[in-house]
Amino acid sequence: MISFDSAVIKEVKSRRPRWVANWLYSFNTKKLNAPARDLPEVLRTLQSIKADGLGSNANPQITKEHLAQLRRAGFHHHVWTVNDAETARKFLSLGTQSITTDVPGKLREALAK
């Protein structure tokens, strides 16, 4: 289950605790250091709604340390929507667990090279 609405994730986890539920959050790409500034509140929200992980946009400001903070707090990271191999490689190297793409065959082929 994924949702931008934290209340939906909280309700799903209360009714179906075994279901995997990830909260979706878009870090502002125009705001300098948005991931670093937002991450403390994002972590508090993830904890309070009992989410399994965070799905975020592919903000280029996201670093390995940001994803390490998520992991240390017990959360997975998933990124959307990545349609080019360079961005996919970057997020895989940072430690993201999955990539959402519009072009799975093309991206898989490009990553295999």
Q: How far apart are CA 102 and CA 38, in angstroms?
A: 27
- The pLDDT, as a whole number, for residue 93 is 97
Structural domain tally of the chain?
1
Q: For residue 38, what are its two tokens?
A: 């937002």
What are the pLDDT digits (tens) for 20-57? Answer: 999 999 999 999 999 999 999 999 999 999 999 999 99
Structural domain harbouring 26: 2-112
Domain of residue 77, CATH code: 3.20.20.190
Give the position of tokens 């972590």.
Answer: 43
Q: What is the dihedral of CA 18, 9, 3, 46, to 10 degrees?
A: -100
- The pLDDT, as a whole number, for residue 60 is 97
